[in-house]
């Protein structure tokens, strides 16, 4: 399972990239606004921090303008992945861009039928939003399960990018189902390493090691 960081915070991305655990980055207009930085400038910087895909989202709602924006965005770097909303115009843009070899992430997916359309449009990634689905009284994991089933039925190559991931259980369940990627806030990625018994084990080993009076580094 690939891990993407869902952020436009370059310090966090740099820190995660240095662990070797980061496979890409997703941004959206809200995350860009939160960064307080220029969209083009911050996206370029992020593209230099990871070799993996970096999703940069168009903000136009019509196909023609989406294509123009995508043209600007894809010039930023080779690893830019154009993010389009799951609308008919977004799907049309997805089809046009992927036919040209450009990576496309179809975002704001809230139903399996929408995901089916994204795959038919040749999307590189589809982003079902788990947390926002849960927030509205639906079962986000059920959505991932349905998409996995449908994509496997037809051997679609579109990767399922589990998005709007809020906690470790979303990651675990997505991995169980076989989502190809999970994009999550850096704090969720880091929290995956936490376990109370790991902390307790380290504490015990350190205490016993101290009793030996030895040191590995001379
Ligand atoms: C996905 O690409 C989105 O940026 C993201 O996962 C949205 O998550 P949120 O619902 O926590 O804002």
Question: 62-72, pLDDT tens digit by residue?
Answer: 999 999 999 99
Phi, psi of 127, deg, nearest 5: -110, 90
Q: Which of 6, 9, 59, 132 to mutate to test the pocket of ligand 1 (most atoms within 8 A of CB)?
A: 6
Q: How confident is the model at residue 40 (pLDDT cuts 50, 70, 90)?
A: very high
Residue 31 CB partners (closer than 8 Å, separation 6+)? 6, 7, 8
Task: Tell me which residues have their CB closer than 6 angstroms to ligand 1.
Answer: 6, 26, 28, 107, 127, 129, 131-132, 163-164, 183
Arithmetic mean of pLDDT, 80-92? 98
Number of Cβ within 10 Å of residue 156's Cβ equals: 19
Is 83 an annotated catalytic residue? yes
Q: How far is the CA of 186 from the centre of ligand 1 (A)?
A: 12
Number of Cβ within 10 Å of residue 21's Cβ equals: 14
Residue 120 CB partners (closer than 8 Å, separation 6+)? none
DSSP state of 143: H
Q: pLDDT, tens digit, for every residue of 122-169?
A: 999 999 999 999 999 999 999 999 999 999 999 999 999 999 999 999
Quote the mean pLDDT of the chain: 98
User: DSSP labels for 51-79?
Assistant: SS-EEEE---SSHHHHHHHHHHHHTS-TT
Nearest residue CA, atom 12 of ligand 1?
164
Q: pLDDT, tens digit, for every residue of 50-65?
A: 999 999 999 999 999 9
Q: Which of 4, 26, 164 to mutate to test the pocket of ligand 1 (most atoms within 8 A of CB)?
A: 164
Q: What is the pLDDT of residue 72?
A: 98
Arithmetic mean of pLDDT, 1-7? 98
Q: pLDDT, tens digit, for every residue of 101-120?
A: 999 999 999 999 999 999 99
Q: How far is the CA of 207 from the centre of ligand 1 (A)?
A: 42
Q: What is the pLDDT of residue 89?
A: 98
Arithmetic mean of pLDDT, 69-95? 98
What does the alpha-carbon distance between residue 50 and residue 90 come to, in Å, rounded to a whole number? 26
Phi, psi of 158, deg, nearest 5: -55, 130
Q: Provide CATH code, domain 2-212.
A: 3.20.20.70
Arithmetic mean of pLDDT, 6-23? 98
Strand partners, 83: 57, 105
Q: What is the pLDDT of residue 155?
A: 98
Q: What is the pLDDT of residue 191?
A: 96
Nearest residue CA, atom 6 of ligand 1?
164
Q: Which of 2, 14, 75, 83 is catalytic?
A: 83
- pTM value is 0.96
Judged on CB neighbours under 10 Å (0-12, 13-18, 19+), 197 is: exposed
Domain boundaries, the chain: 2-212
């Amino acid at each position: 399972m690939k891990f993407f960081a869902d952020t436009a915070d370059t310090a966090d991305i740099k820190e995660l990239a240095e662990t070797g655990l980061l496979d890409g980055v997703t941004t959206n207009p809200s995350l860009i606004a939160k960064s307080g930085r220029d969209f083009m400038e911050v996206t370029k910087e992020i593209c230099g921090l990871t070799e993996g895909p970096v999703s940069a989202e168009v903000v136009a709602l019509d196909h023609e303008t989406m294509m123009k924006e995508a043209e600007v965005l894809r010039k930023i770097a080779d690893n830019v992945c154009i993010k389009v909303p799951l609308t008919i115009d977004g799907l049309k843009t997805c089809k046009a861009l992927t036919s040209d070899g450009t990576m496309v992430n179809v975002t704001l997916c809230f139903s399996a039928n929408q995901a089916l359309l994204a795959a038919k449009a040749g999307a590189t990634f589809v982003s079902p939003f788990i947390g926002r689905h849960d927030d509205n009284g639906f079962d986000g994991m059920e959505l991932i399960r349905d998409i996995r089933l449908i994509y496997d039925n037809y051997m679609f190559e579109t990767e399922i990018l589990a998005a709007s991931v809020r906690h470790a259980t979303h990651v675990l369940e997505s991995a169980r189902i076989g989502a190809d990627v999970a994009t999550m806030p850096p704090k969720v990625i880091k929290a995956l390493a936490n376990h109370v018994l790991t902390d307790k084990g380290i504490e015990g080993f350190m205490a016993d090691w101290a009793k030996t009076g030895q040191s590995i580094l001379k």
